[in-house]
Structure 1
Amino acid sequence: MNEAKGCRPMAVVGSLDQLTGLLASRNGLYVRWSRGPDCDLPEPFSRDALTGAELPGLSANPMDVEDWWKGRSLRTWAARRLYDYSHLARAADRTARPWLLAGTEAGRGPDNEPLVRDVQPLGWIDPTVLAEAETEIEHQPGWWGPLDRL
Structure 2
Amino acid sequence: MAAEMFTVHTLRELTELVEMGVAPYLRYSPGPESDASHPSTDHESGLLMPGVSVNPLAAPGWWTLPLEDWLARRVCQYLRELDEGARPWLLSGRQVDFGPDNEPLLVDLNPVAWMSTDLLDEAREHYHARLNAGTATHNDH
- 2:5 matched to 1:10? yes
Matched with 1:86 is 79
2:110 match: secondary structure: strand
Higher helix proportion (structure 1 or 2): 2
Alpha-carbon separation, structure 1, partners of 2:87 and 2:75: 11
Q: Percent identity?
A: 36
CA RMSD after TM alignment: 1.7
Match of 1:61 among 40, 55, 59: 55
In structure 2, runs of 5+ residues without a counterpart are: 136-141
In structure 1, runs of 5+ residues without a counterpart are: 1-6, 146-150
Contact in 1 for aligned 2:98/2:105 (Cα 8 Å): yes
Give the number of equivalent residue pairs: 134
1:136 match: secondary structure: helix
Once the 2 structures are TM-superposed, how far is the Cα of residue 120 of structure 1 from its aligned partner? 0.3
TM-score (norm 2): 0.87
Alpha-carbon separation, structure 2, partners of 1:141 and 1:48: 31
**Runs of 4+ residues over 6 Å off in structure 1:** none
Once the 2 structures are TM-superposed, how far is the Cα of residue 53 of structure 1 from its aligned partner? 0.7
Alpha-carbon separation, structure 2, partners of 1:95 and 1:50: 20
Alpha-carbon separation, structure 1, partners of 2:23 and 2:115: 17
Contact in 1 for aligned 2:11/2:119 (Cα 8 Å): yes
Matched with 2:37 is 42
Once the 2 structures are TM-superposed, how far is the Cα of residue 28 of structure 1 from its aligned partner? 6.6
Give the stretch that moved more between structures: 53-62 or 8-17.
8-17
TM-score (norm 1): 0.82
Write the deviation string for residues 55-92 of structure 1: whole angstroms up to 9, x where unpaired: 0110111101110103x2111111111011111212xx
1:67 match: secondary structure: coil
Alpha-carbon separation, structure 1, partners of 2:102 and 2:23: 17
What is the identity, as a one-letter code, of the residue corresponding to 1:88?
A: E
